[in-house]
Amino acid sequence: MEISSKENTHFFSNNTVLPVDRSSFKSESSASKEKQSCCGGIKIFLVALSFVYFAKALSGSYLKSTITQIERRFDIPSSLVGVIDGSFEIGNLLIIILVSYFGAKLHRPRIIGAGCLIMSAGTFLIAMPQFFMGRYRYERFPSTINSTVSLSPCLQDKSQTPLSALEKPQAKINAGCVQTAAIVGPIFGFLLGSLCAKLYVDIGFVDLDSVTISPKDVQWVGAWWLGYLIAGVISVLAGIPFWFLPEHLPKPESRKDSSTSSEHSKFIEESKDQHTSYWQQAKLAEMAKEFLPSLKNLFGNPVYILYLCASIIQFNSLIGMVTYKPKYIEQQYGQTSSKTNFVIGLINIPAVAFGIFSGGLIMKKFGIGVLGAAKLSLGSSFFGYLLLLSLFAMGCENSDVAGLTVSYHGSKPMSDYEQALFSECNSGCSCSKDDWDPICGENGVTYISACLAGCQASNGSGKNTVFFNCSCVGTFESSQSSSAVVGPCQKGNECPKMFLYFLVVSVITSYTLSVGGTPGYILLLRCIKPHLKSLALGIYTLAIRVLAGIPAPVYFGVAIDTSCLKWGSKRCGGRGACRLYDSSALRYVYLGLTLVLGTVSIFFSVAVLWVLRKRFSPQDETFSANGERGACGTKSRKDNFVNSDRLIQSIYWPEKETRL
């Protein structure tokens, strides 16, 4: 522990024995107790704040993991799910101004505690529809439930009407501490999503033995609501300590008198004093008068504007990609929701965290300046999106679905796939084209329903139901049998291998893109005049939330909906959720949109580098917002970066913990 020069002079001198002073021992003892009390308070605050970060990150990432579950549960398209996801940012924007204003005037720990309660109430509210909308219903042929009754899936009697779908079973160290919690939160969020996706949506309300679908079925919905209840409880627990913390943490006397306090601490205290004095003396008219010139000065900075545009477009790319990544993996590679969330939480997010850490480490180790930071950020984006390009070759072919991707005779279908759902083999059956109750024929082809497969008989119950005498299965090319089983057929033999390749490239891509996060943020801070930094960061955060966080999930969802081959139908009428996607179209839409946006952001990053090169001199390592060299100081590379070391440790950009 450091000791101030004043204390050194008081207690020690060369070859001198000081007289014993009892008051000095008392003051030393009281100072020690005060310091212990202060350290204890700070530790409690840090632990509590870290837990809050963890709870917030867990809730945000869990929302991403339940996108497909919510879509199936409420029969809604991806575009509407995108609106739900974007509303997370809308909620932030509605409260951020009030918190910013009252946060500096009221009891800040209690405001944080109140925020935790509001956050928990929000997560509880998300789960409420599960308890008000009745049990989940999925389409299933009636005879698969009751083995004592053998009905013909192919209703040859035109006067006989299909039974309604069955109801689903009712059923430094301190700053590293907080940021680590923000990284760990999404990992646990996706792992929680993986666990809940394995559990049936109505678990606890229905007999699970009566459930005839498995997690591999496209109609499967996991217990999405359970994770929100858990996240809500965690948020409540995270907020409790803040109600018992004082409004201001005590500061030990030794620290007040210490002449060796860090430059960072001095800056905070001076800024606080100046801020308090300013608000006491300034008038509203003067504030408004200063705001507009500051705004004009900020937007007149070409580096800031170009970097802001690059960030907005890149965040559009990344937010859209992350939001629908679980859906893409499920639909493209035939993986379950549980496995998808597990892979993202255990592999992708740690890769992103390691990339962020690596970017800061590279900046520190090599003492990289402003121009070097711009180059590193640009290189990270360029190579990241270049790797993303290779994913176009790592897709799976469409599953063979009779009437949608292949005809009933094995050839490619007609352009109007709705007309191709009916064939001579099922012409004697009374089938609905809106049903989705897939079965897998022994010929390896999936049929939308047992009725459309022309099946005449069935045996067994539940998941073990077997259909016989299926006329459409027998007419298929090289078919040796006319039987079928419940559930869709698995994707081709090459798909698991492609999924493994996808995971490897995806992890490397996530790491590469994340390396540029820290250098880019340092670039943003160093290109702004000191008195404009707060305004610049506020506008940056607001722009990312409004222009990327809200619209990206919506238009990505709209684009993904265009690749749907078979839409479900709601019980009350109207189009429901998509049951089957065109794998090739989905791949080109999802990856293509991500890549196009990323490419545009790279062009803006190149423009940033070009502007910096025009104003950069090898003799000057700093760059000012108005183009004057050395205006921010003329320190050496190493010294300049060391002063930014604490800044790198506390790097933050909008919703980092949920965008991983």
Per-residue pLDDT reduced to its tens digit, 20-33: 454 544 454 555 55
Across the chain, what does the average pLDDT equal?
77
The whole-number pLDDT of residue 179 equals 66
* Residue 56 near residue 188 (C-beta atoms within 8 A): no
- Report d(CA 591, CA 499) in Å as an integer: 15
Q: One-letter amino acid identity for 619?
A: Q
Which among 130, 140, 132, 557 is positioned nearest to 321, based on CA atoms? Answer: 557
Higher-pLDDT residue of 139 and 236 is 236
* pLDDT surpasses 50 at 75: yes
pLDDT band at residue 262 using 50, 70 and 90 as cut-offs: very low
Highest mean pLDDT among 192-196, 217-221, 425-429, 535-539: 192-196
Strand 446-447, strand 457-459: pairing? unpaired
pLDDT band at residue 386 using 50, 70 and 90 as cut-offs: very high
Which among 393, 110, 146, 153 is positioned nearest to 239, based on CA atoms? Answer: 110
* pLDDT surpasses 60 at 637: no
User: What value, to the nearest 5°, has the Cα angle with vertex 455 and ends 450 and 460?
Assistant: 80
pLDDT band at residue 152 using 50, 70 and 90 as cut-offs: low
Strand 446-447, strand 439-441: pairing? antiparallel
* pLDDT surpasses 90 at 419: no
User: What value, to the nearest 5°, has the Cα angle with vertex 348 and ends 83 and 581?
Assistant: 50
Distance of CA 355 to the CA centre of its chain: 16
- Report d(CA 206, CA 203) in Å as an integer: 6
Coil, strand or helix at 123: helix
Higher-pLDDT residue of 208 and 571 is 208
Which among 201, 197, 141, 179 is positioned nearest to 49, based on CA atoms? Answer: 179
Average pLDDT over residues 132-147: 63
* pLDDT surpasses 70 at 263: no
CB burial string 440-450: b at 16+ within 10 A, e below: bbbbebbbbbb
Considering only 48-57, 298-307, 565-574, 638-647, which range has the smallest mean pLDDT? 638-647
**Secondary structure element (H or E) that encloses residue 191, with its range:** helix 173-198
- Report d(CA 363, CA 503) in Å as an integer: 28
Average pLDDT over residues 62-75: 89
- Report d(CA 501, CA 392) in Å as an integer: 12
Considering only 163-177, 186-200, 540-554, 625-639, which range has the smallest mean pLDDT? 625-639
**Distance separating the N- and C-terminal Cα atoms of the chain:** 37
Average pLDDT over residues 7-22: 42
- Report residue 440: phi and psi, to 5°: -110, 115
* pLDDT surpasses 80 at 225: yes
Q: Dihedral of the CA atoms 210, 212, 214, 219 (nearest 10)?
A: -120
Residue length of the chain: 660
* Residue 185 near residue 343 (C-beta atoms within 8 A): no
pLDDT band at residue 574 using 50, 70 and 90 as cut-offs: confident
- Report d(CA 58, CA 47) in Å as an integer: 16
The whole-number pLDDT of residue 175 equals 54
- Report d(CA 323, CA 658) in Å as an integer: 10
* pLDDT surpasses 90 at 558: yes
Compute the half-sphere exposure of residue 510: CA atoms within 13 Å on the CB side of its CA. 23
Higher-pLDDT residue of 627 and 395 is 395
pLDDT band at residue 190 using 50, 70 and 90 as cut-offs: very high
pLDDT band at residue 162 using 50, 70 and 90 as cut-offs: very low
3-state helix, strand, coil in the chain (%, to 5): 60, 5, 30
The whole-number pLDDT of residue 617 equals 56
Which pair of tokens denotes residue 311?
A: 């960030």
* Residue 168 near residue 207 (C-beta atoms within 8 A): no
The whole-number pLDDT of residue 10 equals 41
Considering only 38-47, 134-143, 328-337, 491-500, which range has the smallest mean pLDDT? 134-143
- Report d(CA 69, CA 83) in Å as an integer: 15
State what percent of residues in the chain have pLDDT above 70: 71
Residues in contact with 327: Cβ distance below 8 Å, sequence separation at least 6, in sequence order: 67, 68, 71, 78, 560
Per-residue pLDDT reduced to its tens digit, 404-417? 888 887 666 555 54
* pLDDT surpasses 60 at 120: yes
Average pLDDT over residues 277-304: 71
* pLDDT surpasses 80 at 642: no
Average pLDDT over residues 3-13: 40
Which pair of tokens denotes residue 153?
A: 């899936």
The whole-number pLDDT of residue 536 equals 85
* pLDDT surpasses 80 at 281: no
Q: Is the dihedral of CA 191, 192, 198, 201 positive or negative?
A: negative
Which neighbouring-strand residues pair with 434?
none
Residues in contact with 3: Cβ distance below 8 Å, sequence separation at least 6, in sequence order: none
pTM (two decimals): 0.78
The whole-number pLDDT of residue 149 equals 46
* pLDDT surpasses 60 at 596: yes
